[in-house]
Chain A
Amino acid sequence: MRGKTVVLAILALMLMGAGAAWGATATKDVTLSATVSSAAKLTLATSTVTFPDADPDTVPSISANENGAVVTAKVKTGSATTATLKVLAADDLKSGSDVIPITNVTSTATNTSGSFFLAGPVTWSNTSPGATVGQGNSGSFAGTFSWFLANSWAYATGSYTATATYTLTAP
C-alpha cells in the first residue's frame, strides 16, 4: 500500500508539471460586420465639345475636335443592381431662333479598362432621363468618348450651343 501511494504521488507531480507546459487552447468568437455604401465618381477630360464647320457633301458626319477624350467611371453598387451613366441635353443646339435637333448628335465610346461604356453610336436626347452611354456592376472603368454631329445643308449658318449633363448613378 505504501508503494502505491508513492507511485501516485509521483504521477500527481508529473501531471502538475504538464499543467505548466499548458497543452490546451482557449477560443474567442468575434463578429465581423461591414457596411459598404454605394458610391460613384465620374471624370471626363473635357467639358466642351466643339464641332467645326464642314461641307455636308464631303463630311456627312462631323467629328468633334475633342474626340478620344478620356472618361473614367468608378462605381459601387449592389450586387443585384446596375450602375448607369446617362447623358441628358438641356435643349436642342440653338443659335438665336435657329435650331439643330440634339438628336443629330451621337456619341461612341471605347473601353480601355473594364467594360462599362456602350460602344454606340448613342443618339443624344433632351428628354429625361436622357441616353444611356454606360452601364455595369461595381468597379473602376476607363474609356474614351467621341462625338459626332450629322451634317446637313438645311442648317442655317450660325454658332450653335447646347449644354448636356453626364450623370453616373449607383442605385
Chain B
Amino acid sequence: MSVLARLVLVTILGLASPAAAAGPAGGQLIVTPNTLTFQVSMPPSVAAAEVAVQVITPGRIPWRLTVIALGPLQSPDGAQIPASLMTWQGSPGPAFVNGTLSSSHPQLVARGEGAKAGVVRFFLKNRWDLAEGRYSQRLLFNLSSP
C-alpha cells in the first residue's frame, strides 16, 4: 500500500473512532438523577419519582430509547416486588410514551429523530401485600439507532 493510501485510511478511522467513544455515532443519552427513590406508605397512596431524559444527536438521526429492569426489586431479607408493578408516564408525547416496566424485555420509552428532552415519571403500584422493607434494583436505559 502506498503512502497516500495509508493516509486516507487513517482519516477514515479518525472519523469513526470519536463517534464510538462519545456514544452512538455522536449520540448522547443523559438521564438525571441517577437514583429513583420511592416512599411507599399506606394504600391507596401512590409512590412516584421521575427522571429527566435528554437525547442529543448530530442532525436528525432516528433513535429509540428503551428501559429494562435488571430483575425484580429486592430487599435484603429476600422479599421481592415485581418490576411489572412499576409504570411510567412519558412526556412530552408523542416522542415519549407511557409504559409498564419489565425485567424480561426492554420496553419503549421514547423514539424520535434528532435531539429531544423529556420527563419520565415512574409510579409504583401500592398494594397491601407488599412486605415492609427497603428494596433496590437497577434500571438500564438504552438508546439505539437502527
Contact = CB atoms under 8 A, between A and B. Distances in A.
A39 B131 CA distance: 10
B27 A32 contact: no
Interface of A: 1, 4-5, 8-9, 11-12, 15-16, 19-39, 41, 74-81, 137-140, 170
A15 to B, nearest CB: 6
A85 to B, nearest CB: 14
B26 to A, nearest CB: 7
Contact of A12 (B12, B57, B78, B131): B12
B77 A29 contact: no
Contacts of A80: 77
A25 B144 contact: yes
Contact of B138 (A5, A19, A32, A39): A32
A27 B140 contact: yes
Contacts of B132: 36-39, 76-79, 81, 138, 170
A33 B136 contact: yes
Contacts of B19: 19, 24
Contact of A36 (B35, B131, B140): B131
Interface centre among A20, A36, A41, A139 (most CB of B within 10 A): A36
Contacts of A24: 19-20, 23-25, 27, 144-145
A73 to B, nearest CB: 9
Given A32-B36, A34-B73, 17 more contacts: A12-B8, A19-B15, A22-B27, A24-B25, A26-B23, A26-B143, A28-B142, A29-B141, A30-B139, A31-B34, A32-B86, A33-B38, A34-B47, A74-B43, A74-B128, A78-B132, A79-B77
Interface residues of B, number: 66
A102 to B, nearest CB: 32
B143 A76 contact: no
Nearest to B8: A8
A137 B131 contact: yes
B31 interface: yes
Interface of B: 1-2, 4-5, 8-9, 11-12, 15-16, 19-20, 23-31, 34-43, 47, 51, 57, 59, 61-63, 69, 73, 75, 77-79, 81, 86, 124, 128-146
B56 to A, nearest CB: 10
Q: Which 6 A-B pairs have the closest CB atoms?
A: A22-B145, A24-B24, A79-B79, A26-B23, A79-B131, A34-B38
A32 B57 CA distance: 27
A116 B145 CA distance: 53
A80 B77 CA distance: 8
Nearest to B19: A19
